[in-house]
Amino acid sequence: MRQRRLDLAALAVNSSLGFALGTVLAMQVYQLGLVATGLIFNRELRWYPTRVEFGAEGSDIAWLGGTILVLLLGWALASIYRGGTRYDGTRLAVLWAMLHFFREGLQQLLRVPFDGDSPVALSLAALELPESLSWVVGVLGAAGLLAIGLLAAPALLRFARHAEDLATKQGRVEFLGMIGILAWLVGALMTLPLVMADPAFGAWLLLPWSGVFLVATMLASPEPRFIDPIREPVRLAWGTLVLLAVLVGAARLFLVDGLAISL
């Protein structure tokens, strides 16, 4: 029983670190996509820790770059994740990164019908597509977020190290609460050093939405599965912590005053 509690605590820590790292990676990769398309469409741009600003002139199609990049990399990470066999802290971090890449892109789609000034809405307007298409895009975003929430349940449950964690529905809900909902709460707090570095944007207000898809994860109730008990304790994912600290530190060091980029 003591070993089981230690393993669960270590998994909760690793999951919180993975959630935070995935959030930061998704945010920066999304912005990198905006930078790439901004350069392609000759937009004057400035890159901040949590946003990219474009100059007044140029095509608004450039606002589509971030959404495209995070969704493409989400599919790429899904392929990498399916090919893995170990269930350690690194694999858990890859899972969270994949989920956040999809979440970042799908949330942008969901915003389209409700916010005409959102990046994807501006891009669709620049492409002169029918206005009714915005609701189709929004529905696709909502359906996608629901899907990743449901698919996250069996993926996270695979990290259980003791059969008792999966033997009952209550046990599975408690396990997902520890490495899902708790990771959301703690992981979001871990990203504050980055988002608070850019108070003009107020990205910290968006943090509560970063794990909304996990509500569907908790509502999902997969069938019990049998696993072999763990042979050794779960190891803390120090590499995830180091990478998170490096990314946050680099963003605060180089982007806090806005990095002007042009061809």
Query: What pLDDT, in 10s, does the model give residues 10-32?
Result: 899 999 999 999 999 999 999 99
CA-to-CA distance for 87 and 148, rounded, in angstroms? 19
**Predicted confidence (pLDDT) per residue in 40-98, tens digit:** 998 989 999 999 999 878 899 999 999 999 999 999 999 988 877 778 889 999 999 99
For helices 2-40 and 65-82, angle between their N-to-C axes, nearest 10 degrees:
140
Contact present, 110 and 138 (Cβ < 8 Å): yes
Question: Domains in the chain: how many in total?
Answer: 1
- In terms of pTM, does the model score above 0.85? yes
Q: Residue 5: what pLDDT? A: 76
Angle at 186 between CA 159 and CA 53, to 5 degrees: 110
CA-to-CA dists, residue 238 to 88, 159, 199, 241, angstroms = 12, 17, 29, 5
Instruction: Provide the domain limits for residue 167.
Output: 2-261
Contact present, 74 and 103 (Cβ < 8 Å): no
Q: In the chain, where does DSSP find H-type helix? A: 2-40, 65-82, 89-111, 119-126, 133-157, 169-176, 182-190, 192-195, 214-219, 238-255
